[in-house]
Structure 1
Amino acid sequence: MPSATTTTTRRAGQAPLRQAHTPAPGLFLTLIAVCSAVTAANIYLAAPLLSLMARDFGSAPSAVAWIASVAQLGYAVGLLFFAPLGDTANRRRLVAGLTLVTTVALGASAAAPGTTALAVAMFVASATTVIPQLLVPLVAERAPADRRARHVAAVIAGLFTGIVAARVLGGLAGQAFGWRWVFAGAAVLTLVLGLTTALVLPSRRREGPLFAGLAALPSVLRDSPDLWRACLRQAGMFGAWSALWTALSLLLTGPAYGLSIATAGLFGLFGLTASAVAPLAGGFVDRFGAARVVRSAYLLAAVSVPLFWLGGQALAALFAAAIAIHAALVASHVANQTLALTATSTPATANTAYVVAGFAGGAAASALGGAAFSHFGWGGVCAVAGLWLVLGWGLTSARR
């Protein structure tokens, strides 16, 4: 990585980056990973706190469950409008501005007098907390070619750790201090880490129309078969995971196991598998290539589906399946995102297409998995997950 006084030129046709006050490579990567963990957690803060919110607002938990969906919707909107700006905007100012807006929105969430105000604040906070998707292309761009996937994997590990922390630690902190203090604490962490990260990012003048990346999305996908393949394969993988993980709490708290909501929530700790697998997956991608890692991840996910089905009656099978699906998801994610980031000369725009495709696949499978559980039970959910894997792999294998 260049020193603080050197200038690095990006891909052809793009303006040079002015490096200033850039820390050592290891410290720089660690800071970005921690910042990604904190900002990614903001999207999932509401999920473990819904019952506490409902009690505070004097309503049933089912009446506030939609707030968690609002956060997901806000994130999707933010991805479309803000993530492509990494190719054209001054990334330092962009990250600083998004950090400030996110901090204010989280503070407004903590002080919200009712569900409507909370939903609006959560929407804004989730839409502007897309900072990890601005940082991942930068990490891939600055990494040595033979270590690119490992650097991307470090950020992905941080992102998954933040998601787990939001679901597990967020719930525990909410029980101890109240849900409003969780949002207030998230606001402080976001402000400190976001601004610190912005200070060490390379600076670049804006070039071209601000939303040129958004307008270029269709052509970027059309002209890059590798990007198209990465998008569909991750949509299939993330969809399978989402269908199973969304309905899992229904299985665990239902007649089959009868666990409490708090105990069922501890299954989120299996997400820590990602933190261990991501660095290994990055090394395998750098050594063997993305295609081979994605193929292995799909095989592991295919094995996990029958294990999940057996888990409808055997808790041990459910444990094994949870570890397998998380390992498959993160290995596939590291490989596919590395491929997406290097497939075009506009990595931020390509990354937007990749993340939105995965998010869309996950949202659709999650909705279908919930309906399948209502009509066909846990076996129906496993069938949906299997179908998504078949579609993700089959559609991309047929086109060359």
Structure 2
Amino acid sequence: MHDTCPFNPFVERIRIQEKIDAGEKTSALLSSLGDCKRKTPPLARTIIISTLKNQKKPVPEAFIEGIPKAELHIHIEGSLEPELMFEFARRNGLRLPFTSVDEVREAYEFADLQSFLQLYYQGVRVLVNERDFYDLTCAYLKKARSQNIRYSEMFFDPQAHTGRGIAFDTVIGGIHHAMLDAKQRLGISSKLVMCFLRDLSEESAIATLQQALPFKDWIVAVGLDSSEVGHPPEKFTKVFDKAREEGFLTVAHAGEEGPPEYVWQALDRLKVSRIDHGVRCIEDPDLTARLAADGIPLTVCPLSNVKLRVFESVEQHNLKQLLDHGLCVTINSDDPAYFGGYLTENFLAVQKALRLDRHDIYCLVRNSFQAAFLSPDEKQTFLDELDNYISQNQDK
């Protein structure tokens, strides 16, 4: 007995495409594959992609809200909502320079990245003990699950806390235990990326890496964030080399406010697996071609880019241009409490402003799972869930 599908998949692709062109529904075509759908997933995916490309239906908000998502660029400290800020300040006996939640939100008007960072670092001062970091992380993961985020890779900035006397194990302990509880109670998977603050010295970054080594199993990668201009990636070559020697994956913020040269440095000097932001790569055709050819993912944050004046409006964002150049673009929220939107709000904003179709949305979500620091089997599980969602909702 042969464990194979009783048809030639190449011939079947032609037959399927003819049916797609004739307007047959996606769900019916997938059902016709039966067990062979599981044995030849590329064929099932061909049906989905071909149908999406041919479809001209509008994209309802419910389609975006319900689609299973991954988020790869979220700063956990940047999910500190004003209500939590006041709660943490109260229980830790701290005074804030604001009298109300509304006053805090009114302060969220930024001229650039630096003006945001000033408020960001002011906010993190209310994070004092392990419970604070636990509650902060739980709040984000609960919000993420409500938006059907199935997997998240969260950044954290230990130097923003150890520099004011908070122990490293206090920071990571609260975050890690919240991640474990969210997995058990909410079914959301997550991993942690430790970022070095680029406006501090490489020596400080190396000391932070040493502090992280006892918790190596809790951290999947190291990254580079904070004030970009004037702090090129090559400044941190040694610490990134050491991190890779210890088994960490690497990512870096580059090409947000900084020039395309910073992206080149992140690729060639830091040898990163992903570029966080990277939107200015489009200014350098050779760099754009390199990113496309090597399949280097970009974790793009549209609402953040507008809030920090990288683009004047979502309509002017170059996300669609990046996609059209064949780049592996993903959508993310960055610091959602400060920028007025979590992941779903970012998807809704770019879909409306850039007139993205269902195929665009599918590709962006699929890119996120493909770019995640997951095993092939873990990725396939999430991709199957995505494809099942598309097949069940394609005709609505």
Query: More strand by proportion, 1 or 2?
Result: 2
Query: More helix by proportion, 1 or 2?
Result: 1
TM score, norm. by length of structure 1: 0.25
* Greater RCO (CA < 8 Å, at least 6 residues apart): 1
